[in-house]
Amino acid sequence: MEEVHNYQIIAKRLCNRCKKPLDDNDHGNRKAHPDCAKNYKKQHQKEKYQIGNTAKLMIQKNEAVAARLYEMDKQKTGIPFTYAMEQGFRFDCPTFTRKHLNKTVNMFDHYGYVLETIKGEILIFIYYESELFSID
């Protein structure tokens, strides 16, 4: 019993980065060694940058796939979303939205898409930025 209790007290005083004890004279609300906190911040900024690059690559890839799909479906009859995925299309790619008539288009860069369920099938429609117009 006593040991568990002690452990909990000690655990509260561990650096949340390196998991080593904080100095006894560190003030109570400190959660990490100053150096650990500094390194964490650096690491975090690096990760943010890497996430940014990953997102950029994903956007570039989706742009390329979207361009191909766009050429395939000039009539805008829709392409099964499963086919788009087979072509390497990623639906978890970051997008921004543009309004097009009553639709919301998820844009990558110059290309974007709308998903619609037609007769029980989920279809993807690819749009190029120059064909979008907003009526608001």
14 neighbors 32 (Cβ within 8 angstroms): no
Smallest separation, CB 47 to Zn ion (Å): 19
Q: For residues 27-46, which are near Zn ion according to CB under 5 A?
A: 33, 36
What gap in Å lies between CA 64 and CA 103, rounded to an integer?
22
Stretch that binds Zn ion, among 9-17, 41-49, 52-60, 125-133 (CB under 5 A): 9-17
| Residue 27 DSSP one-character state | -
β 96-100/103-107 pair status: antiparallel
**Of 75, 72, 74, nearest to 84 (Cα)?**
72
Taking CB atoms, the residue at the shortest distance from Zn ion is 15
In the complex with Zn ion, the residue whose CB is nearer, 31 or 103, is 31
Query: Does the footprint of Zn ion cover residue 100 (CB under 5 A)?
Result: no
Residue count, binding to Zn ion (CB under 5 A): 5
Query: Does the footprint of Zn ion cover residue 18 (CB under 5 A)?
Result: yes
Smallest separation, CB 8 to Zn ion (Å): 19
In the complex with Zn ion, the residue whose CB is nearer, 36 or 114, is 36
**100-127 b/e with 16+ CB inside 10 Å = b?**
beeeebbbbeebbbbeeeeeeeebbbbb
In the complex with Zn ion, the residue whose CB is nearer, 33 or 100, is 33
